[in-house]
Amino acid sequence: MLQTSESRSRSTALLHDHDWWRQAAVYQIYPRSFADSDANGIGDLAGIIEKVPYLSALGIDAVWLSPFYPSALADGGYDVDDYRDVDPRLGTLAEFDALTAALHDVGIRIIVDIVPNHTSDRHEWFRAALAAGKGSPERGRYLFRDGRGERGELPPSDWTSIFGGSAWEPVGDGQWYLHNFAPEQPDLDWNNPDVRADFLATLRFWADRGVDGFRVDVAHGLAKDLPPEGEPLPTQAELDALPHDGQHPLWDRDDVHDIYAEWRRLFRSYDPPLIGVAEAWVDPDRRARYAGQDGLGQAFSFDLLRADFDPRVFRSVITSNLELAAASGSSTTWVFSNHDVVRHATRYGLPVSGDSERMGREWLLSGGTAPELDAALGLRRARAATLLQLALPGSAYLYQGEELGLHEVPDIPEAARQDPTFFRSRGVELGRDGCRVPLPWTSEGPAFGFGDAAPHLPQPDWFAEYSAEREEGDPSSTLWLYRRALRLRSELRESEQLEWLELGDEVVGFRRPGGWVSVTNFGPQSVPLPDGDILLSSEELPGDGTLPGAATVWLRDPDTGENTRG
Ligand code: BGC
C-alpha cells in the first residue's frame, strides 16, 4: 500500500530526503527511564513530548524509541504483549501520534523498536498456544517440543538461554517451549506463515502512523532450523562447535534474509521509503547482508563499542567498517553506548583488559564504586571518542544520557534490580540496570526532575552533578559539547569520503571533504596540532599549538576543499 505524504505526519523538509539515514545522528530513548509526566515512577510518551525542545536543541536527526508496548517488563519491555498498542503506563496511541507529529514538526524522524524473535508469554498467541494443547496450529507458531524422560519431565535438550539457565520451559503437559532469552519470551517459529503475515501487518500499522523506520531486535535469530518433532536435538556442545556460516540451526542463518527482503519491499512501498536497522550480533563480514539492498538497509556495528580506547584498534575498526559498508551499499553505523552495555564514560575509566565490555562487568562484579574506576579519565576519553565518532562518515547512534556524560550506576540494591540476567545468573552478572537509571533533568527536586514519584530504578546522589539543568548553564559541559558537535556535523552530510592523516602512532586523524579535519590523541602526552582553524575540541586547548592527551579537536583546513596536505 502506498502512503500519500499527506496521510503521514511529516514536515515538508522530511519528505524529500530518501537518504537521511545514511549519516544521521540517532538518539536512543529508553522510554521508561526518560521523563515521567504522570508521577508513577515510569517514563512515558507525554514525558518525551515535553522534552522535544531539548531533543531539537541537541541537534539530532532521529529518535529511536526502545519498546513502549504493553509488557510485564520481564525484560525491560522486550517482552511484548501486543505489538500494536502502547503500554497504558506509558500512554496511548493518540499520544504516540502526538509524539510523532511533535518530532516531525521540528525535523526529527522516529524509529521504533520491533521485537520479532519472541513475543511475551502474555501475548494472545502464546495464551492460545497453552490453551490449545499439543500438536495444535496455535502451538505451531512457537517452538514446542516434547520433553525427554518418561513423562516429559526433562527438557528436550540441554540448550542454555542467553540470560542463563535452560532455554526450555515446561508447560505442564509434557511439552516445553524454546526461549533463547527469558522464559517470559517464547521464541516464535518463523517458518509459520501466520508469524510472517502478522509482522508485516505490524510494520504497516506503525508505518501508516508515520514512523520513519524500525530497529529490529535480535535480527540474526528469527530463522531457525530445528529437527522435526520426535527427532533428537543437537546438544549445546554440538551447537557451540558449529560454524556460523549461515547454516547454524539457531543463529545468523542465510534464510533469515528472505524475511528481510520481504520487509524491505514493504519499506519501499512507502514514500519516502522506510529504513530498518538490524541488531545482529554477527561476525563483521556477515553483517553486510543485513544492511544490503535486499536487507533491512542498515545494521549496527558494535565493533567500536567492544574496543578499548586504543588508536590501533580504532583505526582498524574504522577502516574495516567503511569497507564493509561500501560493499553492502549501505552506510556504516557507530555505537558506543546503548541500553544493553556499561556506559562508555565508565568503560573508558577502567583498567585496560582487552575487552571493554567484560572489563566493565569485572568492575561491576567487584561491587560498588570500585577504586580502580577513574571517572574523570573515563569521561574525558568518552568525550574524545564521541567527537571522533561524530566526525566519521555513517550514522551515529547515541544513547540517552551520554550527552550528559553519565556514568554507569553500579550499586543498585538487589531488591531494586530488574534485569533478568541478574536473577538468572543468581547475581553473578549485575546486568543492565546500571545504564537504564532514569535521567537527571535537574540537580534538585524529586527524582532529579525525572518525575514527581520515586523512579522505577533508584538514582544515586551524584546524578545531581550531571543534570541537564546544571550542564545547560556550563558551556564546558558535555551537553554543550554534544550540541555544538551535532550542529557542526550537519555540514559533513554531503559526502561519505574519509582520508587518513599520518600524525603518529597515538593519534587518529582524518580529513573529510570541505577541508574538515578530526584529530584524536589517544596517548597521555600532548602532540602537535596540524594547521587549521579550530572548530571544536573535547577539552580546553592550551593554545600553544598542541593537543593534550585523551582529547579530540576538529579543525578546518585553511585551504578548504584542497585535500592535499597530510
Ligand atoms: C535487546 C535487549 C533484549 C534482548 C531480547 C536485545 O538484543 O537489545 O535489551 O534483552 O534483545 O529481546
Mutate to test the pocket of ligand 1, among 218, 222, 342 (most ligand atoms within 8 A of CB): 218
DSSP assignment, residue 115?
Answer: -
Q: What is the DSSP letter of 531?
A: S
Domain final position from 484, 503, 531: 484
Question: Same domain, yes or no, for 331 and 429?
Answer: yes
Q: Which atom of ligand 1 is nearest to the CA of 339?
A: 9
Cell of 424: 538468572
User: Is 312 domain-assigned?
Assistant: yes
Count of C-beta atoms within a 10 Å radius of residue 445 = 13
Cα 263 off chain centre by: 20
For ligand 1, is residue 78 a contact (CB within 6 Å)?
yes
Task: Give the three-class secondary structure for 24.
Answer: coil
Could you tell which of 33, 64, 118, 181 is best to mutate to test the pocket of ligand 1, judged by most ligand atoms within 8 Å of the CB?
181
Tracing cell 569521561 back to the chain, one arrives at 379
Q: Are residues 271 and 419 in the same domain?
A: yes
Statement to judge: residues 302 and 398 lie in one domain: yes
Cβ–ligand 1 distance for 218 under 6 Å, the answer: yes
Spacing, Cα 455 to ligand 1 middle (Å): 22
| 428 and 370 co-located in one domain | yes
Residues 88 and 215 in one domain: yes
Tell how far the Cα of 217 is from the centroid of ligand 1, in angstroms: 6
User: How far apart are alpha carbons 351 and 471 in whole angstroms?
Assistant: 28
Give the distance (Å) from ligand 1 centre to CA of residue 437.
17
- Rounded Cα distance, 324 and 280, in Å: 15
> Does residue 364 sit in the same domain as residue 466?
yes
* CATH code of the domain in which 144 resides: 3.90.400.10
Report yes or no: 257 and 293 within 8 Å, Cβ to Cβ: no
Instruction: Identify whether residues 221 and 81 lie together within a single domain.
Output: yes
* Position 195 in a domain: no
Note whether residue 192 is domain-resident.
no
Residue 359 grid cell:
572489563
The response to whether residue 86 sits with its C-beta less than 6 Å from ligand 1 reads: no
- Both 402 and 545 in one domain: the answer is no
CA of 218 from ligand 1 middle (Å) equals: 7
Tell me if residue 97 is catalytic.
no
For the chain, give the longest Cα–Cα distance.
Answer: 80
Residue 189 forms part of a structural domain: no
**CA–CA separation, 172 vs 166, rounded Å?**
16
Report whether residue 184 contacts ligand 1, using a CB cutoff of 6 Å. Answer: no
Domain check: are 477 and 545 in the same one?
A: no
* CATH assignment of the domain containing 281: 3.20.20.80
HSE, CB side, 13 Å, CA atoms: give it for residue 343. 26
Asked if residue 563 belongs to a domain, the reply is no
CA–centroid distance, 526 to ligand 1, in Å, is: 41
Which among 420, 429, 402, 424 is positioned nearest to 486, based on CA atoms? 402
Three-class secondary structure of residue 481 per DSSP: helix
Residue 28's H or E segment, with its range, is: strand 25-29
Domain endpoint, select from 433, 455, 484: 484
Nine-digit cell string for 487 = 550542529
From the CB of 163, is ligand 1 less than 6 Å away? Answer: no
Asked whether residue 542 is domain-assigned, the answer is yes
Q: Look at ligand 1, atom 12, and give the residue with the nearest C-alpha.
A: 78
Q: How many domains does the chain have?
A: 3
Which residue among the candidates 279, 402, 419, 557 is catalytic per the annotation? Answer: 279
The DSSP secondary structure of 270-292, one letter per residue, reads SSSPPEEEE-----HHHHHHHHS
Phi, psi of 376 (to 5 degrees): -70, -45
Of 450, 484, 518, which one is at a domain's C-terminal end? 484
Instruction: Kindly name the residue from 81, 212, 217, 408 that is annotated as catalytic.
Output: 217
Taking the CA of residue 281 as reference, the ligand 1 atom at the shortest distance is 7
| Smallest CA separation from ligand 1 atom 1, residue | 217
Q: What CATH number did the domain enclosing 552 receive? A: 2.60.40.1180
Three-state SS for 17?
coil
Note whether residue 508 is domain-resident: yes
Smallest Cα–Cα separation from 259: which of 325, 199, 208?
A: 199
472 shares its domain with 503: no
pLDDT string in tens for the chain (566-residue length):
334 333 444 455 676 789 999 999 999 999 999 999 999 999 999 999 999 999 999 999 999 999 999 999 999 999 999 999 999 999 999 999 999 999 999 999 999 999 999 999 999 999 999 999 999 999 999 999 999 999 999 999 999 999 989 999 999 999 999 999 999 999 999 999 999 999 999 999 999 999 999 999 999 999 999 999 889 999 999 999 999 999 999 999 999 999 999 999 999 999 999 999 999 999 988 999 999 999 999 999 999 998 989 999 999 999 999 999 988 899 999 999 999 999 999 989 987 655 545 555 555 545 444 557 899 999 999 999 999 999 999 999 999 999 999 999 988 999 999 999 888 888 878 889 999 999 999 999 999 999 999 999 999 999 999 999 999 999 999 999 999 999 999 888 888 999 999 999 999 999 998 889 999 999 999 999 999 999 999 999 999 999 999 999 999 987 664 443 33
Cell of residue 15, nine digits: 519528505
Structural domain including 275 reads 5-117+202-227+246-484
Residues 288 and 406 in one domain: yes
Are residues 365 and 218 part of one domain? yes
Q: Is 494 annotated as catalytic? A: no
Ligand 1 within 6 A of 300 CB? no
**Is residue 238, in this structure, part of any structural domain at all?**
no
* 217 CB within 6 A, ligand 1: yes
